[in-house]
Structure formats: structure tokens, C-alpha cells
Structure 1
Amino acid sequence: MTEKLYYWAENLEGYNSDIDNDFPYSIEIKRLNFFIGKNNAGKSRFLRNLFINSTHTIPDFSFPNLSNYFTELKSIIESSQGTIWLGAMSSGENRTTLFKLINDAIDCPIFPRNRYKENYQRTIDQLSKVRIEYTQEFTYKVSEIQKYVNDFENNIVYEKSKSYIPILRGMRPVTEQENTQPYIKRAQKDYFSDTNKFNSNNIITGECLYNELKIHLLGEPEQRELIKDYEEKLSQYFFDNETVSLIPKHDQDVVNIKIGNDQQFPISQLGDGLQQAIILTYEAYIKSKDKEGKPETHAFFIEEPELHMHAGMVRQLMNFYLNETPHYYFFTTHSNHLLDMADESDQVMIQKFVKQPKEEDPTKFDFKIYRCDRDRDLLASLGVRPSSVYLANCTIWVEGITDRLYITKYMEKYLAELESADMELYKKYRRFMPNYHYTFVEYAGSNLSHWSFDDDYPKTREERIEFLKQDRGQSATAVASDMLLIADGDIQKNSEKIKFLRKELNKENLIILDCKETENTLPKDSILRVAQKKFSNMKRKTSQGFNIEKLEGINSLDYFDHKDYGIGKLLDDQIRNPRTSAEKTAFADGTGVGTIKYKLDFCREIIKYFDENPDWEMTPKAKDLCIRIFKHIEKCNSN
């Protein structure tokens, strides 16, 4: 069964996607889908066309290609000698008829995907009536195809409805006329001529929130409980755990809000960013379950979710969508702060739009869609300059991207454990948002000497000139706020660097791992499972001389917790056959200290293992690291 999902619309002339040759004229999608590109690159029009024109569901466009199965059926017929029966009829023409039926299925274009699915269903219905004398192989293969498709249908989620959230949105009435919704009317006039089909039922602008809250709070107990649950989630994600109450006050036309022990006040006195957060999360949360309390999936098409929001709050909004709702989301965005989510979650997809003149007529344009993760062109599409601006209240310095990804996962796990072990501390820590309360800074270990961590960095121009003459490095405090620097244990071998760091950083601002590197703090089971998977995909030339089954002989939980060697060497030492040269490696990146090969690929596999096995346990060193990090964040964000 395909693990990938695809989506498109029936009327998308001028748009072209070269993402996957097997699925032409479609885009691969995940839970969060970001459309980026320069202004006038066609993002918004594409988003609206997906919303307006697609009468089919995500599974329709993701239906698997069955050509290989039909080819196998053709081979079975070619090798068989028995009479072919079509239902109750046997005829010498049946073999020719069957060949034509299967060839048509093989040659059937797989786009549009929904038509391919319809053709398949007709074909398989006819094939299920076929019987070939002296063999059951054909019948078994047809049943196998049917089971494959049934499994796909049973495991894939169908979106129940679609909703569009335009840029023009707000919770405050902009007219004195009662029962009017100017934002929705404007959206209808600009984009949706069929007002019977596109209206307040599927266009979300925030104007209906007052009445929506009134209906729920004056409705059934289950409706009131749903609003209470939503208020708790708002508190958790956007209001630093302060109790939040939303009140459709009877003598006003605007929602009131009460936060903690503060007095109740109209929503108009709340910051625009938080109003946006409520508009963008209310409908998504309310629609997350059906009347029986079972998860219910919808699709949301959202223009510029980052409007009026701090970068950290936008990230928190995306975490809300991923953690608290089952829906699929499609966004147009110019926010570079969302890009690194592609590294942190396998449920994020970024598509870049490029407007290109047509070769035959330069006055007309095609819109090309490219899948991308992190590249310079992507940043340029968002208008991001090479310079970095740190807006968070504190920074955590790590040696590279893999350290950041591992530590981010550790922090998530630590919070999950705190929820059952220490609720008060959990409530205190869960409010901390990436890129707002803290952010990561990635450095290369060898570059540390180029930075000065001295708080007394010169302020005046003359002092700076004199400082630079001393070649003491660039000021870290000039580009980043309160910092916690995490260094790999192998730095211990460089006494000068250790001396330099301890001189310029306070003890509480420096963590030197008591092992070679961050990978040595990973739990044993995760390393073993990923290593086994990686080994099975190695070329024979690489894996020859090693026996992966020897990994099962590792009984010590701290086998990989080593001061001098990376997990690559520790893996090789365990699985190397007695006669295999010590110079030959399977996992280690060379014969030195044994850092794992292809660190980022290995890291992604580890994170995937964590996501698929939520019961994984942190090592003591990983937990201690989290404790230090959260204490640093708490200190830097205390009032």
C-alpha cells in the first residue's frame, strides 16, 4: 500500500507539478501543507481552486497504481492452457476478451486519479467473474488485488468537508447592521459566484464566532463540554496556562474573554495575534470529533496563517493543528519561521510555486510547483535575507541540526512524562514556545573559537576596533539572547577550548556532555532497531564481513553511552566478524572516533522510530539534559 497521499483539482489549467512521475499533475500532501513563493506566483489562486473545484477526496487522488498486478494476471493467462469461463459462459473468444480487458487496465492513464479508480472498479468487477480450468492462481491473484485495495480504502482517511479561511477575517463586527457578515460577502463577491454552495457553512472569517459560542453554551451538555475543552487547549497553547473563558455577552455584539483572575473584557482589547489564533483554531477543534466522539477529518484551506502573529505563536498554532486535530491543512505563507518544521515532523510538506512565461507566448504564463524542504531558493522565495535575527528570549546552542532534532524530541518526551509525574511542573513548562520563549542556534564544534561569549563585549566603535585587533572572535551576545551552550564530550580532548569556554561562560550556561556526542544519549532499543533497518538496505560490498544478528547480544542498557567512541564504531565492533579487518566499517564514518555515517539520515530514522513507538524511554543522560534546558528556559522567561 502506498504511504504517500496526493491531491489535485479538476480545473487547474496553467498549473503543472513535476513532483512524482508516477502521479503526474498532482501534489504530494501531508497533514500540514505550505505553499510558498514570491508575490503573484499563483499560490492563492491554486489554494482556492483546490477548495472550489475538487469534487473528489484525497483518497481518490491517492488511489494506488495497480499496473504491476494486472501485468501478473496477464502472465497467468499466458501460461495457462485451461478453458476460460466468463461467468457461466465459456468460449474460444474469452481469452482474447480477457487479454483486451487487462491490457486496457494496464494502459489506462493514471490521471485523473479518480477516473483510474473508476476504471479499476469496473475491471476488477469483471475479473472476479473469471474462472480458468485447472488453476486457481488467477482467482487467488484477483482476490489479492481486491484485498490490497480494501486495505487501502479501510486505512486511509476521507475528509468529510472543506473550509476556506481568507485573509480578510476578524472577530470584531465592522458594521452596525445586525445579521450581516461583510467579510464573507466580500469573499463571495471576489471568489465564489455560487453563494448557495459557498457561504458561512464553509467560509470561516471569525464573524460567526459570537453566535457559534452562544449556540454551544446554550445547547446540550456535550456542546458546553466541547467549549470547555477548547478553552483549556487555548490556555495551554496560547495563554501560558492561564484559565481562559470565552463569553458571548448578551448586551454586546462582540465576544468577551476572561483570562486568569483578570476582569472580563471585550475581545477587541485582546491583541490581534491572539484573536487570529482563536479564529484559526475554533472551527478546527470543534470539527475534530463527530457526535459519537470519534475523530472526524476535514480539510482547511488557509490564507497567510501568520497574520499579526509572533513567530513563536505561529509555530504553536501548527503544533495545535498537529496535536489536537486530525485534519489536513493547506496554507499560503510568506513565513520563513515555519520552514524548519519540515525537519521536525514528517507530517509537513512544503511546495514552491514559480511563475514562468510560456515558450510559445511570453505574454502568458505557466505556474510550476516544486516540492522542496530547505534550500536557498526557498528562502529567496520568501524574501528572507542571509542575516539571522534572533527574537526569542533565550538561545540554546547545539553543534548541528541532528543535535537540535534529537534534543527537540527529548524535550517533547520529557514533557509527556511530566504530565503524569508532576502536573504543576508540566503546566509551567508546557507553555514555553519554540522561537518565542527559546530558540536553537546551530554551530559547528570547530567554529566555537570564532565566537566570543564575553558579556563585556565593547559597546563603542573605538572599543570594537581595538577588540577586533585582539582577534577574540565575533560576539555571540550581539546576535543572540541569553544562551545555554551544549558541547559534545569529545571537546574534553581540547584543553584550550575547554578553558576558553569556562572562562567566558558561567557554569549554568555551559553543558559538556559526559559522552562523546548526543547520539550516545539515545536509548539502546532505538539505535538497534534503526541499525537493523539500515543494515538491510546496505550494499553487499558494505555489509559483507558483518553479522547484524550479533546486535541481539547487546544486553547492557548503557552500551552506547561511551566517552570516547561514537555509536558507529560501537555498532561495528559488535557486529564485525572475527576475520573482518578492523579498517572495514559498516556504520562508522571512518576508522577514527566512530561517528555514525550519514548522521542526518540516521537521525531522521531515529525520530521516525520515536514517532511510531510512543512508549520509548529516555536515557538518564537525555533526561538530565532536558532538566538543565528547561531550567534555563524558565530562568530566562521569568518575570
Structure 2
Amino acid sequence: MTEKLYYWAESLENYISDNEVQNDQLLEIKRLNFFIGKNNAGKSRFLRTLFMSNYPSGFYNFPELVKNLNILKIRLPELEAEFGYTSSFSNIKNNYQDLIKDLEQSKTSQLIFLNSSIKSTLERDSKIANLFMDYNFFEITDEQVSKISEVFLNQFYIPILRGMRPVTDLQNKQPYIDRAQKDYFIDTNKFNAKNIITGECLYHELKIHLLGEPEQREIIKSYEEKLSQYFFDNEPVSLIPKHDQDVVNIKIGNDAQRPIFELGDGLQQAIILTYEAYIKSKDKEGNLETHAFFIEEPELHMHAGMVRQLMNFYLNETKHYYFFTTHSNHLLDMADESDQVMIQKFVKQPKEDNPNEFEFKIYRCDRDRDLLASLGVRPSSVYLANCTIWVEGITDRLYIIKYMEKYLAELEKIDEELYKNYRRFMPNYHYTFVEYAGSNLTHWSFDDDYPKTREERISFLQQDRGQSATAVASDMLLIADGDIQKNSEKIKFLRKELNKDNLIILDCKETENTLPKDSIIRVVKAKFPRLKQVKPSYDISLIDHITQDDYFDNAQYGIGRLIDEKIKKPTSTTTKTAFADGTGVGTIKDKLKFCREIIKDFDEYSDWKLTPKAKQLCERIFNHIEKCNS
């Protein structure tokens, strides 16, 4: 599903969305949607309201008609008061009611007719049309209306009260679901065990599948393989609904079979949060299905690395859409790594017209200080991973993450055993990244013999030898750009304090020089029309003259200068650069924006290949991670 999706919060009161479509009742959504904010900011109530949504509220991939519906709803009482039951008013009212019904039944062919009918009525009756001056109905085409589709087949809610261990001996009782119904869902015929997932019935679900048809047993086997891949370091996993117990047993690798309560609570959560999502990812014929899952606090009892693996599981193994309330700061950088992640911040604030009442403002955000503050994150947060990879900045981290993903995808085809070994490594658990900024390296000491006593530390700091890297981060691999070579003192310092296995100095100017040629050219071609004041001096068609794959692999210059040299017109004498950040070594302009466009290109052109140096870099990184986690 490539088009943008929106939730129309027609049935929500006191919620206002701050979004790019300038409609405070529309909320843009993506595959993974994180709702963050302080306690009592309205996140959970909003999540449950989305789950319970009835038409016309709901999810749409074309919001313009939805905005028209909202205007119609507001204007109908005005029409009735002014015109009574004239034929024009009756036509619009009947068409509005029919539109609502057809949206519920996803009859897009009828929607086209009804939308046209409303337009015709407004064209005939200028008085009624005047009540719709704030929106132009005639801008909506039949082709656009036909894009409206049923986005999700079903919607499921996972409350914070969940667990795989029964809490009552009564037959056919599920206390967690009963509690959720009593607290939140009055209509128990509509909201029940069919769409509320608590983990209580997993034992019986597994028994039904394992004693059922061959395809039911096969999907459990497939699910166990995915659990092994994402959560159990590739150790074989078996889920067993043992006949003389009421809880699921688990066998991991060569370990003895154990009841679920003898394992960590985090593993129980991982199973609860993935089982239904995976089981419901295909229909009986094997066709992919898309549902919506509304999940309270997915990080409950789970290590940060395991939560990240959970999100990778959702993105890679299902096509569903997910909505989370969360207080986990470990999920925030996923917005940098995938364009399928959306973070919405909830803020409770007094109403402007009545300070004694409150409203909830929803802000779309990516990375900012307020975002971290909303989650209670402080500068004293520490690294928890088993090893660290030090990179010069955010762009290097984002490129390397994509390189590692591609390396694994290519490795699966040529060395399945090594692939299985490497794919088990979880970000923020087995490894994490540290961004150090190149000029700050001299402020760090990488010496393992950092002083232990208070007196030794004071003496050490007085010598201005820098802060201890080992004091704040575990086993490290430091990756430095090749342009560090010009600073012999810094090179000498690093090689003295880090052994060769823990130091990588690129033999090209910077990480951008390891990018694949075709991706750079595509992004440059897309960016060039947006440049100002340089077009007369540069000819973007000249970039097609780059034929050698290693053109950008340069130890002296950045790709910005290499691009400019190629596309500058032979007759031009300008000193203005097009893509280089200045006339010196030629680092690319707007590195972060360029990085995001490269990553977007990677996602759109999945057949891109790692350059030799990018592949070598990945090999060194995975060797380091493996050594530190053996």
C-alpha cells in the first residue's frame, strides 16, 4: 500500500491533530504508529477509540472526500433550518446518508455516483452552494473517489492486562478479557475474544492448530521458525500445549522442555504480541491479509533489543498496521531507519475558549528534545548493548544500518549458515551505535587501563587525556572517515589506544564514497530541478557520462565535488557549487537530507547492490559483533 493513509477522527471529541493536510480531524498513519506523551495525555483513550471506530470515522487512503463528508455533516442542520425540506436539501441529505452506508460497505462504484450527485445539486442551487464556500467540492474527480478502499479487514486490541498464565480455574472464563470489556467496551457482542487479544487462550489456540489440518500445523511450524530467528538466537523453538497442564510449554534448542512460567516474562510478551499477528497474516488460500492491531505498551517486561526485534518482526513478517502507546525511548530512532514509522506526540492543554476544560493536541514529530522529555529520558541514560559501533554522525549510522540489512539479504543466498548466525543479532541488545563527531575524537580516551581510583582519575583528567570511552560504552569498534589520514597525530593516538581489530579507517574520504553509483545518480537527478541559481552553469544530463562503478570511490574528494566536476558545463566559469558544500574537499551539501533521499531510493529500488568497500565494512562489523557476543 503505497498511498498515504489517514484516520478520520470524526467520532473523537477534544482531540486536535497538527498535520500537513491542515485538517485537525485527520491523522496520517503508517505501518508502525507510536503514540507517546506524559501520563494522562490521552494516548490510551485515543488508541481504544481508533479500535472501536465506526463509520464514517475510520481509515481512508483518500482524505478529501472524507473532509467533504465532515462539511456535509456540519452543514446539514443549517440547510434544514434555512431551506426546510426542499428537493435540493432532500437530495443532499439522502446522498450524505447513502455515502455513509456505502463507505461502510466499500461500494466505491456507488460512491462515484453519489459524489457526482451532490456536485450536481450544488451546481443547480446557488443558495445551498453558498453554505459550502469553504471547500470546493468540484475539485474531487471520480478517479480520486475510486481510490477509496477498505483498508483493514479486521481490527484487534491488545490491552496492557495480558498474560499466558491462566488466573482462574473456571472453565471458559477469560478474566483479562472480562476486565477489558467491563472497563472499556459496553457492547460485549461486538468486542470480545474474537478481537481482544490477551494471551489467555493461547494454550487452546495452539492445541486446535496442532491437532488440526496439515496447513494449520504448518503455520505453527513456520511461526516457531520465526520466533527462533527473531527472539531465540536461531535456536530451534517448539511450543507445546502439554495435555496434563493448562499452560504452554516451550523447548529451546537442547534445553529441557519447560512450562512458560519458568521462562522470562519478556518471552511471554513476545509470543502474545506476535502469535495472532503472524497467524492472521494469510487467509486459508495463502493470500496476504492486512489487519490493524492496537497495542498498549508493547515494551512491557521486554529488553530494549527484544522490543526492536518485535518491531522488525512486524515490518518484515506481516503486512498489518500497528498502533502503540509507549514510553520506550528505544523505539524512537526507528523513525530514522524506516519510512514506515510514524511518531505522534500527545499533549494535554487547556482550551483557548474555556481554560477550565482540556483538549488533547496530537503533534507529528521525529526527533526533538521535547520528544525525549515526554518519555522521561535523561542525559544519564546508559548503553546496555554488549558492544558498540562508533560512527562519526547520524548519516554514517543510517547508511551502515542499511548496508547491514542488504549484506544479510545477500548473505542468505550464498551462505545460509552464516546468515542464520548473523541475523540473530539485535540492535540495542547485541550491539548499538555511538555517534561521536569526528572532531571530538581527541576528547575521548580509548585506553583499557583507564584509572580506577578517584585520585588516579583526577590526575588523569588534569593531564587532559580525555573522557574514558570504556566507562560509558562496552566493547567498541570505531569507524573513522578516510580524511582523518591527513591528521597524523590523531591517527597515531587512535592506533596507540585501539588495536587493529577495533579500528576501521576507511580508505576513501567518507562513508558517502562507499554508496552505489546508481543510487547517487538517481538521487542527484531528482534533486537537480530543485536547485536554485546554478542551473545555467550545470547540465544534469552530463552525469550519465559516469560509467565506471567506482567513480565515487575517492580518497581525496567527497561525492559533492565529484558530482559537480562531472555535470559542470565546459564553458562555465562559475565558482558556485551545485552539490558540493564549498569549493574544498567537496562533501555533499545537506548531508542528512541527502542521506534520507538515498535511503528512500534504497527502499524503492530493492535490487541495489553493495559496493565492495561497503561489503568489506559490513564483514568487519559483523565479525566484531559476533566476537563480542560469543
TM-score after normalising by structure 2 = 0.89
| 1:302 counterpart SS class | strand
Q: Structure 1 vs Structure 2: percent identity of aligned residues?
A: 75
List gaps (5 residues or longer) in structure 2.
Answer: 69-86, 122-137
Are the equivalent residues in 1 in contact too, given 2:203–2:246 (CA < 8 A)?
Answer: yes
Q: Report the Cα offset of residue 435 of structure 1.
A: 0.2
Residue number in structure 1 paired with 2:468:
475
- C-alpha change, 1:224 and 1:475, in structure 2 (3 Å) is same
Residue number in structure 1 paired with 2:13:
13
Residue number in structure 1 paired with 2:613:
621
Q: Report the Cα offset of residue 364 of structure 1.
A: 1.8
Aligned partner of 1:609 among 567, 581, 601: 601
- C-alpha change, 1:250 and 1:343, in structure 2 (3 Å) is same
- C-alpha change, 1:518 and 1:113, in structure 2 (3 Å) is farther
Residue number in structure 2 paired with 1:520:
513
Are the equivalent residues in 1 in contact too, given 2:393–2:435 (CA < 8 A)?
Answer: yes
Equivalent-residue separation in structure 1 for 2:592 and 2:204 (angstroms): 49
Q: Report the Cα offset of residue 3 of structure 1.
A: 3.5
Are the equivalent residues in 2 in contact too, given 1:483–1:509 (CA < 8 A)?
Answer: yes
What letter is aligned with 1:471? D
Q: Report the Cα offset of residue 231 of structure 1.
A: 0.5
Are the equivalent residues in 1 in contact too, given 2:60–2:151 (CA < 8 A)?
Answer: no
Residue number in structure 1 paired with 2:454:
461
Aligned partner of 2:494 among 492, 497, 501: 501
- C-alpha change, 1:444 and 1:226, in structure 2 (3 Å) is same
Are the equivalent residues in 1 in contact too, given 2:65–2:140 (CA < 8 A)?
Answer: no
Are the equivalent residues in 1 in contact too, given 2:230–2:424 (CA < 8 A)?
Answer: yes
Q: Do structure 1's residue 239 and structure 2's residue 232 form an aligned pair?
A: yes
Residue number in structure 2 paired with 1:49:
49
Residue number in structure 2 paired with 1:563:
555
| 2:323 counterpart SS class | strand
| 2:347 counterpart SS class | strand
Q: Do structure 1's residue 417 and structure 2's residue 410 form an aligned pair?
A: yes
- C-alpha change, 1:531 and 1:443, in structure 2 (3 Å) is same
Equivalent-residue separation in structure 1 for 2:487 and 2:64 (angstroms): 55
Q: Report the Cα offset of residue 4 of structure 1.
A: 2.1
- C-alpha change, 1:111 and 1:28, in structure 2 (3 Å) is farther
Structural mapping, 1:344-383, within 5 Å: 344-383=337-376
TM-score after normalising by structure 1 = 0.87
Aligned partner of 2:166 among 155, 164, 173: 173
- C-alpha change, 1:119 and 1:497, in structure 2 (3 Å) is same
Q: Report the Cα offset of residue 176 of structure 1.
A: 1.7
Residue number in structure 2 paired with 1:274:
267
Structural mapping, 1:212-291, within 5 Å: 212-291=205-284
Deviations 1:516-539 (A, max 9, x none): 000000010000000000112223
- C-alpha change, 1:494 and 1:165, in structure 2 (3 Å) is same
Q: Report the Cα offset of residue 62 of structure 1.
A: 3.3
Residue number in structure 2 paired with 1:575:
567
List gaps (5 residues or longer) in structure 1.
Answer: 69-96, 130-141
Are the equivalent residues in 2 in contact too, given 1:58–1:159 (CA < 8 A)?
Answer: no
What letter is aligned with 1:463? E
Q: Report the Cα offset of residue 58 of structure 1.
A: 5.4
Are the equivalent residues in 1 in contact too, given 2:388–2:433 (CA < 8 A)?
Answer: yes
Are the equivalent residues in 2 in contact too, given 1:5–1:58 (CA < 8 A)?
Answer: no
| 1:322 counterpart SS class | helix
Are the equivalent residues in 2 in contact too, given 1:546–1:575 (CA < 8 A)?
Answer: yes
Q: Do structure 1's residue 584 and structure 2's residue 537 form an aligned pair?
A: no
Q: Report the Cα offset of residue 388 of structure 1.
A: 3.3
Equivalent-residue separation in structure 1 for 2:304 and 2:357 (angstroms): 36
Are the equivalent residues in 2 in contact too, given 1:8–1:61 (CA < 8 A)?
Answer: no
Equivalent-residue separation in structure 1 for 2:242 and 2:290 (angstroms): 31
Equivalent-residue separation in structure 1 for 2:27 and 2:113 (angstroms): 24
Q: Report the Cα offset of residue 11 of structure 1.
A: 2.1
Equivalent-residue separation in structure 1 for 2:490 and 2:21 (angstroms): 51
Deviations 1:591-619 (A, max 9, x none): 11100011111111111111111111100
- C-alpha change, 1:121 and 1:59, in structure 2 (3 Å) is farther
Residue number in structure 1 paired with 2:534:
542
Equivalent-residue separation in structure 2 for 1:328 and 1:227 (angstroms): 22
Are the equivalent residues in 2 in contact too, given 1:63–1:113 (CA < 8 A)?
Answer: no
Deviations 1:170-221 (A, max 9, x none): 0001112222101000111111111111100000000010111111111111
Q: Do structure 1's residue 444 and structure 2's residue 437 form an aligned pair?
A: yes
| 2:50 counterpart SS class | helix
Q: Do structure 1's residue 161 and structure 2's residue 154 form an aligned pair?
A: yes
Deviations 1:212-248 (A, max 9, x none): 1111111111111011110000000000001011111
Residue number in structure 2 paired with 1:146:
142
